Structures are given as C-alpha cells and as structure tokens.
Copies of this chain bind each other. A is one copy, B any other.
Amino acid sequence: MSTQERRRRERETREQLFIQTAQDLIRREGLLHLQMSRLAEACDYATGTLYQHFSSKEDLLMAIATEDLKRRATAFEPIPGLPATSRERMLAVVLTDIDFISSHPDHFQLLQYVSTEVIWASASLERRQALVQAGAPISEVVSRVVADAIHAADLVGIPSLRPVEIAAGFWCLNTGMHTLAHTHGLLEAYAVRDPYALLIHHGHALLNGLGWQPLVDTGNTRAVIDEAERIRALLVRSANPESPAVTS
C-alpha cells in the first residue's frame, strides 16, 4: 500500500519537473519554440513519457498556467484579513494583481494563450476544469472584500448587483490593463506611459463612482501613490508574518 503512495508521489514530482522545466524553456526561448521532444530531452525522459502526464501539448500549457494561477490565488488570501479599511483592502486586491503579473510576465501571456478557443478546445476536460478551479478562489476573495464593505456600510449595496458583479468590474479593469500592457503594439498605439499607475488611478475612480467610502481625491497624485505604498507594505508584512518588529 505504501508502494501505491510512493508511486503517486514520484509521479507528482515528475509532473512538477516537466512543468517547471517547460516554464524555464518558455522563459528562455519563448512559447513559440517550446517543443515536446526537446522538453522531454531536457528532463532526461523519452517523448512518450510526457504523454503519460499530458494528453497533448495544449494540455501541458494549461497545466503550467494552472500552477501559476494557483500561486497567484495564494497571494490574494491574506487580503480579507488585512488590518485596513474595506476600501484599502480593495486597493490591495488591485495592487496584489499588479505585483504578481509584473513579477511573472510570462504568466499572463500564457494564460491569454490557453484561454483562446483554439488552445482551450485542444486540452483535456480535467485540465480545463482545473484551470477554472484555480482561479475561483480569487473571485471569492474579492467578493468577500465587497461583501464586507457593504456590511460595514462603506459601500451601499445595489439590489440588482451581487458582490461578485461588483468584483467583476475590477476584474475587467485589471485584466484590461494587463492586456493593454502585454499586447504587442497596444501600449505604443495608446501612448500610455505607465499602465499600472493608470490602473490604480482608474481603480480609485471606479471605487469613487461606486460610492465606496471613504472617497479619495484622485487629483492628489502624491496621496494616491503614498497610499499604494502603504498598502504594499501591509501586504508584504502579512505575507511574512514572522518578520521582525516593524520599524517606522
């Protein structure tokens, strides 16, 4: 019976090896040049062994995207418990996403690619479900932040809109800006200089427009930047709970 278990662990370990090596290859040579045979070789396995884990190349790509998405979701977890106002927590959502995507530039592009009809349809049902599931915790966290704000009366609930639909607005703004930032030719065409500073600005505008208290003066660029840095520090602290005493 322990044999069974060890086998499963070894299999899992090897799958991680394939996924991580594939990520390395993609980082190094680009998604375009990823080849199944070369990936297998890089891992010292035969090509066929790859297909013990992934039903197709698209399946593999989706597995990579899913791994990253799980890590991305983890970054959101501490937010509902953050010692801050509900509005600051919502800003924390935006900042967390910005920072994750900024430090994982390949992730967003891969996610865009596998979300494409062509790739999506070529992957197995299990992988597709796993990808959707990996993203679900994020919308749950953000919805909770919205629900908490309504509960705290920082935000007046509108009967026709559930928390998840408010959350979706920020999802759109964020995803849209990632798209703008990562799609070739777009930043240049729009002549947008600093997409993520812009995202924070529009995020505040949307928060203000929803009447999310306390309102922020978006014209005061200094204050907006300072607040973002303050929330970032809070996020860093919550990510390393055992860090030494805070210094001012």
Question: Which A residues contact B (CB, under 8 angstroms)?
Answer: 30-32, 109, 112-113, 115-118, 120-122, 128, 131-132, 135-136, 139, 156, 158, 160-162, 164-165, 167-169, 171-177, 179-180, 183-186, 188-192, 195, 198-199, 201-202, 204-210, 218-219, 221
Contact = CB atoms under 8 A, between A and B. Distances in A.
Question: Copies per complex?
Answer: 2
A185 B131 CA distance: 9
Given A168-B192, A205-B209, 12 more contacts: A112-B112, A113-B118, A115-B179, A117-B184, A132-B188, A132-B189, A161-B201, A165-B190, A172-B173, A172-B175, A176-B176, A209-B218
Given A116-B113, A132-B185, A185-B128, A179 B179 contact: yes
Tell me which of A30, A172, A173, A202 has the highest count of chain B C-beta atoms within 10 A of its own C-beta: A172
